[in-house]
Structure 1
C-alpha cells in the first residue's frame, strides 16, 4: 500500500479509537450517575434496609482488608490478570473463566477493547460485595448469599454482566424468601433495574398463589397484570379430572383423579382428596382461573344420634396442591348449575340442601341466582330466573337447570315441570337481565324427555334422551335456530360433563366408563374410568405444574455450583 494509503488507514483507526474512548468515558459518567440513582431508588423501595455493604461499626470481611484475597486466578498461574474496579474495592481476575460464564466478559475478551488491552476495567456502579459473590461462584463454585439484602445487588450485577448460571442459583435462594410482604417491591425493583428474569420469578410466585394473595396483593394489581398472571397459570398441560360430587352412601370416593387429556396417553392417578371428613356430601363444581371450586355441603354429626348438613365451599389450587375454605353461597343449594363469566362464578337453580333424600312433587328449584367474586371471596344476588308461575322439573342425576357460558352471557336449559316444554334462557352479564330464546327445543321436533348436558360455544350442544336412546342436537346463538337431531348410543349419563375441542366427556354409570362423544360427528368412544365405580361425577380440566419445573432447586446442592 502506498504511504499515503497507510497514513489514511492509520488515521481512520485512530479516529475510531478516539471516538470509542470518548464513548467509553461518557458511559462511565452515565454509570456513575446510575449508581447514585440506584442507591436513591433502593432507599425508596427498601427504607428499612441499608444499601448492601459493610454495616457501620462492623468488622470488615477478610477479603475487604486483604488485597491478596481479591486475586482470582484460573488454570494458568502465570496468566495475565484483569484489574476490575468496583465500588469500593478492586479485584484482579483471570478473564478466561469469567468469559465462560458471562457474555459480557466473553465479548470483552474477544473485542480487543482498550480495557482488555490495558488490563483495567471500571465497574464503579457494581458493589464490591456483589462482584465478590460472583467471583466466589465462578472460580470456587461457592454460593453464600442467603438474605434478600445480599441477593438483590448480586442479581442486579449478574443481570448487567449477563451471568445466567449465577442468576439461576440466585433464584433458588430467593424463592423461599418470596412472600406477600416483599413481592411487589421485588417486582418494582426488577422493572427499575431491567431484570426480566427476576420479574418472571416474582410473576411466577404471584401467579401460583393468585387468589391466596388476593386480599393483600393481587386484587389491587392493574387488570392487565392480573390477566398476565392468570395466563401463566395455564402453562402446564391440561389434565382431564373427575370428582365424585355427591355421595349418598357411606362408600363415597373422596379422591380427585386426573389423567392426560386425550389423545395424550396415560392412566388415572389421585391428585388430592376432598378437604373434609364426611361420609355423605353434595357439591357443585366450577373451574375458574385454574382453580377448582366446590360449593354445597356435607353431613356432620350433631349430638349423639343426630346429623346436620353443613354448608361449605372450598377451592383447590393445582399449582400448589392446597385446598382453602371459601365463602359458601347464601342459599342452601343442592344440584345447582354453575357458569363462569369474567372471573365470576354464577350459582343457578338447585333446591334446598337439608338432606340427601330424593325430591318429591312439591320440590321446586330456586329462582335466586348468586354471583361469586373470587377476589373479594363474597357472594351477591343478581337477577333471579324469570320462572314465575311455573317450576322446572327435578332430576337426581344432573345439576338443574343445565348451564353454560358463552361470550359474556349465560345460557340455561330446563324442562317445565307442568308442560314438559324445554325452556332456553339467556342471562346478559352486562345488563343483569334474562330473556327467553325462541323457538323452544320442543318446537324443534326434538323428543327429549330427559336432559343430560348443555355446553359448547357456537353452536351450543344439547344432549338428552328419549325412549329410543340418547340424542344430540345444537342451537345457533347467532341465528337462534336449532340444528338436526343425531342419535347416540343408548346409555345412562350422570353428573356434570365437559365439552372441549368439540368432544363431550361425561360419566356413564351404565357402561362403567367415560363416554366421549364427537359433538359434530357420529363417533363415540369409551375412556377407561378412574379406579372407582362411577355414580355422580363432575368432569373438568385443570393445569398442573410442568414435571420439569425446577422450582425448589431439586438436584442442586445448597451452596455449591452445579
Structure 2
C-alpha cells in the first residue's frame, strides 16, 4: 500500500509540473508579465480541495458583486471595468503588472484613468472573469465549449504561442481554432506558417478549401472605351448562388481597379483568386496601359495588390502547378488592338512564387521553327497542368496541326509530345478549351458546323476518340470540375456546363451583364 501511495504521489507531482508549464505558456500567450506564484505540493484535506474546486467552477460571480471584486496586497487604486454584461472592480496596479494594455492605461492621462471607469463592452464578461482569475489567483479553468470564445483575440503575435499550447495540452479544439485563423490569413502572414510541420501545412490548405466550391465569374477583358452603366456593372466578381433548382448570380465584390479598358487572366491558388494583367489609365499625354496584379481572399472578401508580370502580356494563359503560377504566351499588351500577321506569341514564360510575391523567368516556349496561331476567343496558347508538368496546346500556323508541349517544372525543360493531331484526323481549326481530368488532357474545339471533344493521354501519348456535338460558341477562360467543363457563351449571356461523359449541355441562369470575354473558376467562401 505504501508503494502504491508513493506511485500516486509521484504521478500527481508530475501532473502538477505539466499543469505549471501549461499555465506559464498561457501566460506568455496572453502577454502577462507577472510570474505565477506556486505553492509547495503537499497533502491537503480532500474536503477543502473539493470546496475550492466547486467555487472555481461555480457562476457565483455573475450574481454576487463580491466575487467580481479583485484586490491585491498593495491596496492600489481600484477601477471599474464594464464588460459585455457585468462590471468588475479591479486593482489597477496589479492588472497593470499583468497586461500591457492596463499598464499603458495606468500611466496615461485618458479620461478612463481619471474617472476610474474602463469601457470594455466588446469583451465577453466570461472571458474577462477568466483573465482576472488567472491574473490574481493563478487559476485557469475554461470549459471546452467556451474555448473558442476565449480565443477570439487571436492575433498575428499570439497565434503561434496558442498553437504550441494546444500541442502541450493535446487540445484538438484549440489547435483547430488556431489553424483556422492561420489558414484564413495564409498568404497575408506567410511567415507564420513557414516554420510549421509539414502535416500542419497540409491541414492549413485543407481548411482553406473546406465546404462547397462556388462557381464564380468575372469579365477578364473589356474593350469599351467609355464609362457607362454597363462597364460599371461588368467590373464585378459574380458568384452563382443556389436558389432552388435554378440558382442566381450575385455580386461578391467590385474588381480592385477603376478603368474602362482592361485585360486580365485569372488563376486560383490555395483558394486565392489571382487577377493578372493590366488596365488603361490616364497619363499626361493621354492613356497608357498599366501592368497590375491582384489577389482576392474569399474568406475575408479582401483584395490586395501583388507583384505584376515582368512582360506586358495580353491573352496569355495562366496555370497553377506545384504551388506556383505560370504565365505562358500571349502578345504585347499595349492598346488592345487586334493582332495582325506580324504579331507573334511570346515565348518567354514566367513563374510566380506566392510566398515571396515575385515573378521570375523560366525556360521559354520552344517555338523555334514554327508559330502558334493567335485567337481573340481564348488565351493563346491554351495551357493546363497535370501532376508536376504544364501542358500547352496550340495550332501550328503553317499546317493547322494540334501540337502538345510539356514543361517539367522540376527539370525546367520543354519537350514535344508527338504525334500531332492532323487536319485529316479532325477538322478543328478553332480551339476553345484545354483542361485535365482523369489523368488526361481534355480538348474542346470546333469548326463552322459542329463542336468536337477529344482527349490526349500524356502517358501513352495517344489521342482519344473524336466526339462531335451540336455547334456551341464558347469563349473566354473555362474550368473543369468533376468531369464537367464550365465556360461562357455568346448566346443569351449564358454560362454552360458540359458533361464530358454524355456531352450533354446544361445552361446556367444568364449573367446580370452581357457576356464578352469571361473567366470561370471555383472558390470556397
- Counterpart in the other structure of 1:258: 239
1:275 alignment partner, SS class: coil
- Counterpart in the other structure of 2:443: 462
Q: Which segments of 5 or more consecutive residues in structure 2 lack a partner in the other structure?
A: 39-45, 61-94, 96-123
Aligned equivalents of 1:167 and 1:340: distance in 2? 38
Cα shift at 1:23: 6.0
Task: Determine if the alignment matches structure 1 residue 528 to structure 2 residue 509.
Answer: yes
1:284 alignment partner, SS class: strand
Contact 2:497 2:505 in 1 (8 A): yes
Contact 2:400 2:423 in 1 (8 A): no
1:534–1:148: structure 2 CA closer, same or farther, 3 Å change rule?
A: farther
- Counterpart in the other structure of 2:472: 491
Q: 1:441 aligns with which of 399, 408, 421?
A: 421
Q: 1:243 aligns with which of 218, 229, 234?
A: 218
Aligned equivalents of 2:134 and 2:280: distance in 1? 51
- Counterpart in the other structure of 1:33: 17
1:142–1:377: structure 2 CA closer, same or farther, 3 Å change rule?
A: closer
Q: 2:524 aligns with which of 535, 540, 543?
A: 543
Alignment of 1:58-73 (within 5 A): none
Query: What whole-Å deviation, never above 9, does each CA across 1:59-113 have from its counterpart, x for those lacking one?
Result: xxxxxxxxxxxxxxxxxxxxxx964479xxx465498989xxxxxxxxxxxxxxx
Cα shift at 1:187: 1.2
Larger Rg: 1
1:438 alignment partner, SS class: strand
Cα shift at 1:331: 0.5
1:40–1:543: structure 2 CA closer, same or farther, 3 Å change rule?
A: closer
Contact 1:463 1:470 in 2 (8 A): yes
- Counterpart in the other structure of 2:250: 269
1:478–1:362: structure 2 CA closer, same or farther, 3 Å change rule?
A: same
- Counterpart in the other structure of 1:75: none
Contact 2:28 2:161 in 1 (8 A): no
Cα shift at 1:518: 1.4
- Counterpart in the other structure of 2:179: 203
- Counterpart in the other structure of 1:299: 280
Query: What whole-Å deviation, never above 9, does each CA across 1:293-326 have from its counterpart, x for those lacking one?
Result: 01000000112x6001000000100000000100
Superposition TM-score, scaled by structure 2 size: 0.78
Contact 2:384 2:435 in 1 (8 A): yes
Contact 2:435 2:441 in 1 (8 A): yes
Superposition TM-score, scaled by structure 1 size: 0.73
- Counterpart in the other structure of 1:352: 332
Cα shift at 1:149: 9.1
1:360–1:95: structure 2 CA closer, same or farther, 3 Å change rule?
A: closer
Query: What whole-Å deviation, never above 9, does each CA across 1:223-270 have from its counterpart, x for those lacking one?
Result: 332221011101121000011000111343111111158997532111
2:491 alignment partner, SS class: coil
1:165 alignment partner, SS class: helix
Cα shift at 1:441: 1.4
2:340 alignment partner, SS class: coil
1:263–1:478: structure 2 CA closer, same or farther, 3 Å change rule?
A: farther
1:439 alignment partner, SS class: strand
Query: When the two structures are aligned, how many residues end up with a matched partner?
Result: 449
Task: Determine if the alignment matches structure 1 residue 212 to structure 2 residue 188.
Answer: yes
Cα shift at 1:467: 2.3
- Counterpart in the other structure of 1:5: none
Q: RMSD over aligned Cα, in angstroms? A: 3.3
Contact 1:312 1:328 in 2 (8 A): yes
Aligned equivalents of 2:137 and 2:174: distance in 1? 12
1:197–1:470: structure 2 CA closer, same or farther, 3 Å change rule?
A: same
Aligned equivalents of 1:169 and 1:274: distance in 2? 34
Aligned equivalents of 1:46 and 1:483: distance in 2? 61
- Counterpart in the other structure of 2:395: 415
Q: Which segments of 5 or more consecutive residues in structure 1 lack a partner in the other structure?
A: 1-14, 55-80, 99-128, 130-140, 545-562
Aligned equivalents of 2:486 and 2:492: distance in 1? 13
1:30–1:386: structure 2 CA closer, same or farther, 3 Å change rule?
A: same
- Counterpart in the other structure of 1:338: 318
Contact 1:83 1:93 in 2 (8 A): no
Contact 2:215 2:239 in 1 (8 A): yes
Task: Determine if the alignment matches structure 1 residue 227 to structure 2 residue 202.
Answer: yes
1:192 alignment partner, SS class: helix
Aligned equivalents of 2:181 and 2:357: distance in 1? 21
